[in-house]
Amino acid sequence: MPALPGLLRHLRGALRGFGVERIWAPWRRAYVEAGGGDGCIFCEKPARGDDRAAHIVRRGRTCFSMLNRFPYNGGHMMVAPFRHAASLDALVADELAELFAMVRDSISLLAGKVRPDGFNVGMNLGRAAGAGVAGHLHVHVVPRWDGDTNFMPVAAGVKVIPQSLDEMHALLTVP
């Protein structure tokens, strides 16, 4: 990543000529610098027992849903089994059934609370497929709105998300 600061300086300089203003998103720095340590967030966060601090939205018998700390859009959730498993083949029937029931329930919850125009739902299985946590499978549920992709992520590498994780967690966990 040593070339990244130079590239960012170059882009900032190039964009100044177009009258583009900077939007600071310092919380994204943690994502850029995340080294993927030795632990597993999908094992550690539920074990802590503080669902509010971990942004865990729902717990089932074998699976749980949580907000993504580095969301693509507001309300970006992930659904994972409690048990550390890297592939769908490693899940037993009850885990597999609950995983997809919880994906369905997450879509319903988000549809009712944040009213998106659509959803992206998917898994990145393995590091080569883009999995940030390759050893513990999880399903992404990403709310999408018409026009939510604009010049900011493309030209400036910045995604503006107007609601904090704490606010979104409170919204989604209110009965």
Contacts within 8 Å (CB) and 24+ apart, 127-132 = 132/34, 132/36
Q: Which pLDDT score is estimated for 14?
A: 60
d(CA 77, CA 98): 16
The residue type of 112 is G
Q: Which pLDDT score is estimated for 39?
A: 83
Q: Which domains does the chain have, with CATH numbers?
A: 38-150+161-173 (3.30.428.10)
Q: Which pLDDT score is estimated for 146?
A: 86
Beta partners for residue 65, in sequence order: 58, 79
Q: Could you list the mean pLDDT of each consecutive 10-residue stretch along the chain, which spans 175 residues?
A: 60 57 55 60 95 96 95 92 96 97 98 95 88 90 83 59 83 83
Q: Which of 76, 138, 140, 169 is catalytic?
A: 138
Examine the residue annotation and report whether 138 is marked as an active-site residue of this protein: yes
pTM higher than the cut 0.75: no
Q: Which pLDDT score is estimated for 134?
A: 86
d(CA 46, CA 117): 30
Closest CA to 139 of 89, 168, 94, 101: 101
CB 96 within 8 A of CB 104: no
